[in-house]
Amino acid sequence: MDLSVTIAGVKLKTPVISASCIDGKDGTRIAAVSEFKIGAATTKTIVKNMQKDVMPNMKMVRGGSMINCVFGTNLTAEQWFRDEFPIALEAGIPIIANMAGVNPEEAIELAKACEAAGASFIEYPSACPHMGNVLEAMYPGLKVELPEVNDPSDYARQIEAVKKAVKIPVIAKFSAIYQLDCVRWAKAVEAAGADAISAADSIGPAIDIDIETGHPVLGGPKGYGGLTGPAIKPLVLKMVLDISEAVNIPVIGIGGITKAEDAIAYIMAGATAVELATASTMYGYERYEEIVDGIEAFMKRKGYTSLEDFRGLTHKKIAERYATGKQIIQDITLPVHDKSKCDGCGSCYMACAYGAIEMGERYAELLPDKCEGCGLCVSVCPRKAISQNYFE
């Protein structure tokens, strides 16, 4: 079974990449996570003048999602090039240098240094919408403009400049705040020469509040942070679907991947590879390996021999809806209940918005006359005892 992928001529042994996050904080951490079947590893954002983080800077919000206001790397660029890259390169997998400059000249200088240090790719983030607020408080008088979400031209110019400065491939990393206009952004960076697009960085600014004290849970002037993890997956999955349809360069899906099923969904949406950050931070490096193994098990079960067998499958299914007149279905297909799988937990009964499920002595009972066909019961059943098929 072949799990390898190629991005801009660089071969990765698996499609799972450690994202720019705590697992890319230094060479030693990259070497440690590389033991867990990842195809490539990404550094935390390398900047010329690093900042000390404000505290506290990471909080779990519901369901394994997180808000954070972590800056880029806590090491100087010099430390990266002198000490960390040599250690990271020992891992023997491609290293993606995530880096940012405060102006194009600085970005070019850093990109050249990352290439010289042995990076296989540059990943160039587009914006961190929650950071301006913190930086303005650190440097009174500084004005950090919010990015213009409808106008990719400035970012595309930066991509073009970085691209011209190095020979290694350049990945444009989008913020999730561009989700509505992501196709325009994708076409702009493709025209500017980007070799791939990774989507997405966190969405924000976001906030959570400690109701015992009333304080925002994060540090900084207002406690703003970027939201990551499972909460953003449906939104970023849609970005990846739209972007991969619009451009001819590879797309890397990032956002809320906690298990193999999430990674598979991104590949079906058209992603060539995936990155994850929050899940490995919260649940350990083993998560990478579990996801790789889970993709392999899924492929075995489905009879797939390569990722190409299902990459972009969702694009085909969407085309089929059009071809078979199933874009708009308004007739109800009743759900089918397999009582041999039902353990009477009552999840479907609680969720049914139409009172169409009753609890019998041992099992849930579906009431066809009241069912409105919505499908919610299918998705809440933990034992997959309810099915419903509108499309196949």
Ligand X SMILES: Cc1cc2nc3c(=O)[nH]c(=O)nc-3n(C[C@H](O)[C@H](O)[C@H](O)COP(=O)(O)O)c2cc1C
Among all residues, which ones are annotated catalytic?
128
- Using rule CB under 6 A, residue 120 touches ligand X: no
Contact pick of 5, 12, 17, 19 for ligand X (by CB under 6 A):
19
How far is C-alpha 34 from the chain's CA centre?
19
Task: State the minimum distance, in angstroms, from the CB of residue 67 to ligand X.
Answer: 9
Whether the CB-CB separation of 236 and 199 falls below 8 Å is answered with yes
Pairing of strands 364-366, 357-359: antiparallel
- Using rule CB under 6 A, residue 287 touches ligand X: no
Give the total of residues touching ligand X (CB under 6 A). 28
Nearer to ligand X, 69 or 364 (CB): 69
- Using rule CB under 6 A, residue 202 touches ligand X: yes
Whether the CB-CB separation of 45 and 72 falls below 8 Å is answered with yes
Contact pick of 15, 27, 72, 152 for ligand X (by CB under 6 A):
72
3-state secondary structure of 39: coil
Burial 5-23 (b: 16+ CB within 10 A, else e): bebbebebbbbbbbbbbbb
- Using rule CB under 6 A, residue 58 touches ligand X: yes
Taking the CA atoms of residue 208, residue 102, residue 47 and residue 41 in that order, the dihedral angle to the nearest 10 degrees is 70
Q: Which DSSP state fits 44?
A: P
Task: State the minimum distance, in angstroms, from the CB of residue 181 to ligand X.
Answer: 18
Which of the stretches 13-21, 205-213, 216-224, 357-365 binds ligand X when contact is defined by CB under 6 A?
13-21
Which residues lie closer than 8 Å to 30 by C-beta, 6 or more apart? 18, 23, 24, 41, 43, 84, 87, 88, 91, 95
Which residues lie closer than 8 Å to 251 by C-beta, 6 or more apart? 196, 197, 198, 199, 240, 243, 244, 270, 271, 272
- Residue 156 token pair: 């595309």
**Distance, CA of 234 to CA of 226 (rounded, Å):** 16
- Using rule CB under 6 A, residue 386 touches ligand X: no
Identify residues 212-231 at the interface with ligand X (CB under 6 A). 228-229
- Using rule CB under 6 A, residue 67 touches ligand X: no
Nearer to ligand X, 241 or 254 (CB): 254
- Using rule CB under 6 A, residue 175 touches ligand X: no
Nearer to ligand X, 54 or 277 (CB): 277
Task: State the minimum distance, in angstroms, from the CB of residue 113 to ligand X.
Answer: 17
**Distance, CA of 192 to CA of 153 (rounded, Å):** 9
**What residue has token string 């953003």?**
232
- Using rule CB under 6 A, residue 23 touches ligand X: no
- Using rule CB under 6 A, residue 257 touches ligand X: yes
- Using rule CB under 6 A, residue 66 touches ligand X: yes
- Using rule CB under 6 A, residue 250 touches ligand X: no
Which of the stretches 107-115, 135-143, 255-263, 334-342 binds ligand X when contact is defined by CB under 6 A?
255-263
- Residue 273 token pair: 């590879």
Contact pick of 16, 22, 77, 170 for ligand X (by CB under 6 A):
22
Contact pick of 256, 265, 299, 347 for ligand X (by CB under 6 A):
256
Nearer to ligand X, 25 or 321 (CB): 25
- Residue 316 token pair: 């085909």
Contact pick of 276, 299, 307, 381 for ligand X (by CB under 6 A):
276
Identify residues 34-53 at the interface with ligand X (CB under 6 A). 44-45
Contact pick of 20, 126, 133, 314 for ligand X (by CB under 6 A):
20
Whether the CB-CB separation of 293 and 15 falls below 8 Å is answered with no
Which residues here bind ligand X, judged by CB under 6 A?
A: 19-22, 44-45, 58, 66, 68, 70, 72, 98, 125, 173, 201-202, 228-229, 232, 254-257, 276-279, 281
